[in-house]
């Protein structure tokens, strides 16, 4: 079954390996992980496991405002889609970090999309940048 899943969803190989581990099948997890290069495995763990570990540590240890810490990390990494999801889910500060990051990057196209999605902060930043030289949207 695991092999069939990987054959039909090769992009989910490491997620399937994680699933095998959680289901008490470490030998299957090792076989699935071995199908990918070390670079692919490292990227997976940097993007997912380290992020989850950091989030859990922030929440568990009460290191300041957990939402703000996570939002700041995502903004620093340019993970706008995840910040958008957090904003849509009502996570405090996510919209502010999203808009601030897009403005910092000069991405007026994305700011306009946020404005049209109803994010008030985006509307004010877009209006401030209208007609200013050197504020062309990134491509």
The reported pLDDT for the residue numbered 131 is 54
Does this model's pTM top 0.75? My answer is no
The reported pLDDT for the residue numbered 15 is 80
Tokens of 67: 């939402």
Structural domain for 94, as ranges: 65-139
Q: Is residue 109 part of a domain?
A: yes
Q: Is residue 4 part of a domain?
A: no
The reported pLDDT for the residue numbered 122 is 76
Q: Is residue 117 part of a domain?
A: yes
Mean pLDDT per segment of 10 residues, for the chain of length 139 residues? 82 82 87 83 68 66 68 87 82 85 85 78 73 46
What is the CA angle 36-17-77, rounded to 5? 70
Q: Is residue 40 part of a domain?
A: no
Q: Is residue 139 part of a domain?
A: yes
The total number of structural domains in the chain stands at 1
The reported pLDDT for the residue numbered 60 is 63
């Amino acid at each position: 079954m695991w092999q069939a899943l990987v054959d039909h969803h090769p992009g989910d190989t490491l997620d399937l390996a994680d699933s095998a581990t959680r289901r008490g099948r470490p030998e299957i997890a090792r076989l699935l992980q071995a199908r990918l290069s070390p670079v692919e495995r490292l990227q997976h763990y940097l993007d997912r496991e380290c992020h989850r570990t950091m989030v859990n540590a922030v929440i568990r240890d009460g290191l300041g405002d957990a939402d703000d810490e996570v939002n700041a990390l995502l903004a620093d990494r340019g993970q706008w889609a995840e910040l958008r999801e957090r904003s849509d889910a009502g996570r405090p500060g996510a919209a502010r970090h999203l808009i601030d990051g897009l403005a910092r990057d000069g991405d007026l196209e994305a700011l306009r999309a946020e404005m049209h999605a109803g994010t008030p902060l985006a509307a004010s930043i877009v209006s401030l940048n209208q007609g200013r030289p050197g504020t062309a949207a990134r491509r």
